[in-house]
Chain A
């Protein structure tokens, strides 16, 4: 099967800024693909070029085997786009909203109502969209993008301004959508979101893709030591660093953190010294991958 999305050497400049600077990747059918990066990295511009909203300065984009630019009315019914929670008609109820979008695609109202149920908004169907909570509006927005059953779904920062509870609910919904065999492409600046949802993630910064792969593989490749931390002051930095398997130890006054690639040795050493109070073991995350790639802390 050909790739759902195929991007080759994409470039787009705004004045002096190279917003997208030679980006290439493929998204396979059925894949949940994410572009992860801080704000201003060029994620949204890349997504908009693939959606066909912007014309690239150079490079090629093919979506479901068709060119994305110029606007292709054959392609449009096969893709679903969720832009923002507020991209609605003014003063319509949730049901009127999704039925309007449905009819643009020639989809009957019954299916629109079914979609409302899928995203759990049947109870809010009669509410005007201005009255929906952030999470509900986001769900409706995704329902409107899915109402015509597209093969390919684009999501731009879907959990942008949501509280943690609403984010987790939305993640469940997105996993459910992805499990139906649809291809999903998402941009996000949340590391945890990319880690938890995406089959494959591309890390982007300053218009370039730094690395792409499954989140777990990216972290593993980093081969970063584990960090074992206990309460501060249980033992001195020197004696901690001298434990078997420890490569480095620092005490920041709150906790004593020991870096190691051989955690069992360190843990047994700590146990012998009866210094296990407040024990936490943490591995590397995508944040460490970003730090490793760019040399700076990740700040969304």
Chain B
């Protein structure tokens, strides 16, 4: 009879979830939109390019282009009519520099509003002049530059955006799901009704955990499916499957927060506000929205008390940094410990009804 109870309660909860448009929007659609949005904007800022206005005809630029066709990847050149119009464009920031030839001199006018671009303009044009001088001497170059990248351990945007936003989606899905179900069922007395049916509290709790874990795994699948599309370019590293136990333990941790909120709150509105008050700051301080690698020191310190930090960094380690499966174990241990403590408090303050 208990197994029947578990199965039918799970079914009822699952149907209740998939028919709840607001829950679907907040736990799946919105995080996915954030993923697409952040994945796209960070992508386009990767390769800095400088744009030049060529005033009159600049022989040196033509020559340099012929010598090194790769130059087009860092430079865009547009012809300009007058010096004054070209300078106006540079002042406004729509072009990075105006270039003209005055006899043997290559004249460059630039703005230092963007210091990185200003430096780039100087060094690129400087090297063009150098190369031209060297060629004019008629001798082959004595020295050559051999440049190659070291293996890049720093994370690409999609590699931290995906675990971060996924962590936030999992945290809010699990916490809100548990809190709203508990408060709603207490308010409409369904909890008492279930107490008068031959079904154990364990079956009710197990069904709710099962559904939350299932929803979490669906969120994981959707996120990985989108982030690994060639357009976003997430490449999963070998031990990515350790994200599955991490997600399950993360769900348990955030469900325990939700149950505590649900035990304290009297109405669903109150539960929503309290859960937001817990989850949103945690998303900012726990590395979900702001990657901890770039965060100020105080955020990094605060993140150590946030369970979300361990979920997010744990997923980053196994999904993107290429760490081994064992690297997720400390995070799993911390999440389970958190679940035990908060869950025990939630059980203590739990009430079957409002009086």
Contacts and interface: CB of A to CB of B under 8 A. Distances in A.
B145 interface: no
Contact of B9 (A53, A90, A91, A100): A100
Contacts of A106: 1, 4
A186 B107 CA distance: 98
Contact of A81 (B12, B196, B199, B353): B196
A53 B199 contact: no
B197 A101 contact: yes
Nearest to A83: B189
Interface residues of B, number: 28
Contact of B196 (A53, A86, A88, A100): A53
B198 A105 contact: yes
Interface in B299-355: 352-353, 355
B184 interface: yes
B16 A92 contact: yes
A84 interface: yes
A100 B197 contact: no
Interface string A87-104: 111111000100111011
Contact of B15 (A51, A77, A81, A92): A92
Contact of A91 (B4, B7, B15): B15
> Chain A contact residues (Cβ within 8 angstroms of B): what range?
20 to 34
A53 B5 CA distance: 20
B196 A96 contact: no
A76 interface: yes
Nearest to A128: B19
A104 B199 CA distance: 6
Contacts of A280: none
Nearest to B20: A91
A87 B197 contact: no
Contacts of B192: 53, 83, 87
Interface in B154-211: 184, 188-190, 192-199
Nearest to B18: A91
Given A73-B198, A83-B189, A105-B198, A91 B8 contact: no
B16 A89 contact: yes
Contact of B195 (A14, A71, A99): A71
B43 interface: no
Contacts of A52: 196
Contacts of B19: 91
A203 interface: no
Contacts of B190: 87-89
Contacts of B15: 91-92, 96
Interface of B: 1, 4-5, 7-9, 11-13, 15-16, 19-20, 184, 188-190, 192-199, 352-353, 355
Interface of A: 14, 51-53, 71, 73, 76-77, 79, 81, 83-84, 86-92, 96, 99-101, 103-106
Given A87-B190, A90-B20, A106-B1, 20 more contacts: A52-B196, A53-B192, A53-B352, A73-B198, A76-B197, A76-B198, A83-B189, A84-B189, A87-B188, A87-B193, A89-B16, A89-B190, A90-B184, A91-B15, A91-B20, A100-B11, A101-B197, A103-B8, A104-B198, A105-B197
Query: Closest 5 A-B residue pairs measured CB to CB?
Result: A103-B8, A91-B19, A76-B198, A87-B189, A89-B12
